Chain A
Amino acid sequence: MNIIKKELLSGNEAIARGAYEGGLKAAAAYPGTPSTEILENISKYQEVYVEWSPNEKVAAEVAIGASFAGARALTSMKHVGVNVAADPLFSFAYTGVNGGFVLISADDPGCHSSQNEQDNRYYAKFMKIILVEPSDSQEAKDFTKNAFDMSEQFDMPVMVRTTTRISHSKGMVTLEDRKEIPLKPYKQNVQKYVVMPAQARRLRVTLEERLEKAGEFSEIFPGNKIEGNGKEFAIITSGVGANYAREALGDRATYLKLGMTFPLPKKMVTEFIEKHKTVYVIEEGEPFLEEQIKALGLNVIGKELFPNMGELTATMIREILLNEPAKKNQDLFRAEDTPIRPPVLCPGCPHRGVYRVIRRIKNATDAIVTGDIGCYTLGVLAPLNALETCICMGASVSAAIGFKQMMPDRKVIATIGDSTFLHSGVTGLMDAVYNKAAITLIILDNSITGMTGHQQNPSTGFTIRNEPTYKVDLEQMVRACGVQHVFKAKAYDFKGVEAAIEKAIGINDVTVVITEQPCVLIEKKKEIVTCQINSENCQDCQVCLRLGCPAISKQGDGTIAIDQTMCNGCSLCIQVCNFDAIERVGGTNE
């Protein structure tokens, strides 16, 4: 007898499981919320080759190569990662696949952990590849698994698009066994795998043909279906929006729930709309379905009622379609009296001291300080207030060049993390050397990709499965780019960091400072050292508070205290104290 095995899985765990069941053989990714756990979960399946790549473009290309080699392959990334990987993916749509290929795009409506909100469904249409949108963990598993078959059947990559609430919500999932699928034979075939102009023009035509076949399949794709038979509303919906629609309208509505939204099942949609007087499109984000439907000459109501930004909610749908009055807030505590709790650098974070020094130097020299993406972006917040720009990964370096070339009299300092430097900062550094932009680049090397939850990268010496491997030596790499002046300092050594940065900005040439200290969260030390206030010496001057360490706070009676459960003993507060009023307690830190 077949025992049905059910598990409570997050969308990301379910995608990993679906890929595994579907015979996945190779997976490559660069971390990014909300996609990170997909590859982390895949790495638990020993049958699969997995790697953290230095960036999304490399990840996509590794997976493309594996697909050409005949393997079922996957790459996963957050929405902005697809911007980085877009170049290979657009052309890959032309060549098509050998082994089935799945691209996971994890979007972040509401910008929970992102610099923007982009609806990547448009990418599928733009690249001319199949798009499926799961709405819960079960579909995340099923669609991913199906996607490999679809990819091989229609000879194109398939995008599985999730959002934060799909990726990070858990639901019941029925598990099945893995299908072991051997490598498909690979034969050299330049007609297919080389996109030179003459061939590209031909592939361009076949792409349209492949897409048309996929469109026919969309009509019978089991994830495109009519649900319920409520009489009051007719709804076309997809993704997480389908859950909110059902939550709000229940059996008062009939739903056309679409799982495959590009190519759209045109016949199915047309028939649905013809059968109902008024049809609403409920989709989170941009009017992706709505625009396609309206382009068919059909009439639906969508974004004129529903917002195209932020997250959709069931409450919103009830307010809009059922005229339910907005829920009243409680009146005991007013929102304006409830202080916000922004994320902060952890107690003992090695970035804190570096930004404290940068802020001081910035104030003293009127330097411009560009920032990048990672935990260290938090250096922008009070009380550190050290950064003034943040655009995308790598932009700290290249934007610093632009600043410097336009404002040669100002000092320009760029700050970047180890993972981000390898992702796309190093190309900017080459440019700085090549085009003689005398910027100072500070690489905050904490030996890990911190922000996304501690992933290995090429400078850490370990693979995703924690096997030891070669590591990029950042100093040698920087020197190989042509940088003549490289300084190193230990990040907890205030004076050392200060001396290094001051020396660096004094030189009228490209300079690099590498500050080193592993992330404090990587390894909880056994013998914990903490810092403690010696209240006899403490003058309540509050200079330590200006470090912005969450463990240090002013008590009700005006005295300063260090929370011993939070403190990690980094000693920065000891170094800034002018009255010897903070001391170390506990064992040694070594």
Chain B
Amino acid sequence: MSKTKNILIVGVGGQGTLLASKILGQVALLSDLDVKQSEVHGMAQRGGSVITYVRLGEKISSPLIEKKEADIIIAFEKLEGIRWLDYLKEDGTIIINDQEIYPMPVIIGAADYPENIFEKLEKSSNKTIKVNGHELAKGLGETRALNVILLAVAAKLLPFEKEVWEKALVDMVPKKALEINQKAFELGWNL
């Protein structure tokens, strides 16, 4: 892999964005690449907006991805996807889960949830991949499999063999959740 890949994973605290970044890190390790990832703990995990940065390449200095540097954004929630859109490269891809989680200002009527998010994204220079992740995960009987479904969609855009991903899953997913996550990966990979 000659060029560094920058992947942002964004969502709402508690949505399980951390497993996806763990698996990505393991893929890098298995591929003998350098990797840095940075995540948020503490306050924001209480239902706030959360972000994980993952960078893979020959030699990585900064743990952060800055504006217009992300090759891929994996957004677990629509509003969070557009919140971080400034970070996507002009020709980057946003993988966006079709789910709305209202933030408190919307719940109490102090703000409106943005409308027509997908329609607007269609007009941008970025590539947009819309995923019905929540429904798909429900179909598997495990809503928490959402993260691996979304990750598998991203996996298709990254220069690693499917076997490497499968090995990383085995390494990083707790045994009792492995089978369902393998199914989730298969599902996302074949979307």
Cβ A550 vs Cβ B107 within 8 A: yes
Contact of B114 among A337, A343, A554 (CB under 8 A): A337
Contact A341:B40 (CB < 8 A) given known A332-B124, A382-B110: no
Q: Which residue of B lies closest to A315 (CB)?
A: B66
Contact B104 A381, beta carbon cutoff 8 Å: yes
Given contacts A112-B42, A170-B37, contact A246 B61 (CB under 8 A): yes
Q: How far is the CA of A330 from the CA of B80 in the complex (A)?
A: 15
B79 touches A (CB below 8 Å):
yes
A340 partner residues in chain B, CB cutoff 8 A: 49, 103, 105, 111
Is B109 at the interface (CB under 8 A from chain A)? yes
Contact across chains for B61 and A112 when beta carbons are under 8 A apart: no
Q: For the complex, what is the distance from the CA of A550 to the CA of B29, rounded to whole Å?
A: 38
Contact of A338 with B46 in the complex, beta carbons under 8 Å = no
Q: Report whether A341 and B80 are in contact in the complex, using a CB–CB cutoff of 8 Å.
A: yes
**Once the chains are docked, how many angstroms separate the CA of A337 from the CA of B85?**
13
Q: Which residues of A (539-577) have their CB < 8 Å from a CB of B?
A: 545-546, 548, 550, 552-554, 565
Chain B residue with the shortest CB-CB distance to A452: B42
Q: A34-B42, A113-B42 given as contacts; is B104 within 8 A of A342 (CB)? A: yes
Residue contact B64 to A168, C-beta cutoff 8 Å: no
A170 and B25 contact, CB distance less than 8 A: yes
Q: For chain B residues 80-113, which have a beta carbon within 8 Å of chain A? A: 80, 82-83, 85-86, 88, 101-113
Contact status of A6 and B124, CB under 8 A, knowing A33-B42, A327-B68, A382-B104 = no
Contact A170 B35 (CB under 8 A): yes
Chain A residue nearest in CB terms to B108: A383
CB distance from A546 to the nearest CB of B (A): 7
The answer for the CA separation of A50 and B60 in the assembled complex, in Å, is: 34
Judged by a CB distance under 8 angstroms, whether A244 is at the interface is yes
How many Å lie between the Cα of A553 and that of B109 in the bound state?
A: 10
Q: Interface size bucket, B side?
A: 35 or more
Collect the chain A residues with CB atoms within 8 Å of residue B38's CB: 165, 168-170
Distance in angstroms between the alpha carbons of A165 and B53 in the assembled complex: 11
The A-contacting residues of B in range 17-31, CB under 8 angstroms, are 25-26, 28-29
Would you give the shortest CB distance from B39 to chain A, in whole angstroms? 6
For residue B80, which residue of chain A has the nearest CB? Answer: A341
| A127 on the B face (CB < 8 A) | no
**Pairwise interchain contact B47-A553, C-beta atoms closer than 8 A:** no
In this complex, the member of A168, A340, A343, A554 whose beta carbon has the largest number of chain B beta carbons within 10 angstroms is: A343
Q: B106's contact among A136, A244, A339, A383, by CB below 8 Å, is which?
A: A339
Q: With A247-B61, A339-B112 as given contacts, are A33 and B41 in contact (CB-CB < 8 Å)?
A: yes
Does chain A have a CB within 8 A of B156?
no
In the bound assembly, the distance between CA atoms of A112 and B40 in angstroms comes to 8
A565-B144 Cα distance, complex, nearest whole Å = 11
A residues 130-175 near B (Cβ < 8 Å) are 136, 165, 168-172
Chain A contacts for B85, CB-based, 8 A: 330, 332-333
**Within the complex, what minimum Cβ distance (angstroms) separates A107 from chain B?**
13
- CB of B63 to closest CB in A, whole Å: 4
- Cα distance A340–B47 in the bound complex, in angstroms: 12
Tell me if A's interface is mostly helix, strand, loop or mixed.
Answer: loop
A559 to chain B, nearest CB (A): 14
Partner of B120, one of A8, A113, A240, A333: A333
| Shortest Cβ distance from B67 into A: residue | A327
Cβ of A332 to closest chain B Cβ, rounded Å: 5
Q: Is the CB of A339 within 8 A of B111?
A: yes
B13: A residues at CB distance < 8 A: 343
Q: A375 and B46: CB pair below 8 A? A: yes
**CA A333 to CA B88, docked complex, whole Å:** 13
Give the residue name and chain of the A residue nearest to B39 (CB). Answer: A168
B2 partner residues in chain A, CB cutoff 8 A: none
> Please, how many angstroms separate the alpha-carbon atoms of A378 and B143 in the complex?
28
- Please determine whether A338 and B62 come into contact, CB atoms closer than 8 angstroms: no
Q: B4 CB to closest chain A CB, in angstroms?
A: 10
**Mask of B109-129 contacts with A, CB within 8 angstroms, 1/0:** 111111001001101100000
- Which of these, B25, B26, B107, contacts A553 with CB under 8 Å? B107
- Cα A34 to Cα B39 in complex, Å, equals 11
Choice from A36, A338, A345 contacting B79 with Cβ under 8 Å: A338
A545→B107 CA distance, assembly (Å):
7
Within 8 Å by CB of A33, from B43, B47, B86, B104, lies B43
Q: How far does the Cβ of B9 sit from chain A's closest Cβ, in whole Å?
A: 13
Contacts of B37 in A (CB 8 A): 8, 169-170
- Knowing A169-B37, A338-B82, A343-B48 are in contact, say whether A554-B43 is a contact too (CB < 8 A): no
Residue of B nearest to A345 (CB): B46
> Judging by beta carbons under 8 Å apart, are B79 and A169 in contact?
no
A165–B143 Cα gap in the complex (Å)?
A: 31
* Residues A329 and B86 in contact, CB atoms below 8 Å apart: yes
A378 to B38, CA, bound (A): 25
Find chain B residues with CB under 8 A from A382 CB. Answer: 104-105, 108, 110
The answer to whether the Cβ of B44 comes within 8 Å of any Cβ in the partner chain is yes
Question: How many Å lie between the Cα of A264 and that of B138 in the bound state?
Answer: 58
Is B36's CB within 8 Å of the partner chain A? Answer: yes
Between A and B, 19 residue pairs with Cβ closer than 8 Å are A8-B35, A33-B41, A33-B42, A112-B42, A168-B40, A171-B35, A327-B86, A329-B86, A332-B82, A332-B85, A333-B82, A339-B103, A342-B104, A344-B47, A346-B47, A378-B46, A382-B110, A451-B42, A548-B108
**Given A243-B63, A553-B102, 9 other A-B residues pairs in contact with their CB atoms under 8 A:** A168-B41, A171-B35, A340-B111, A341-B48, A343-B13, A344-B47, A346-B47, A452-B42, A550-B104
The 3 A-B pairs of least Cβ separation, nearest first, read A113-B42, A33-B42, A169-B63
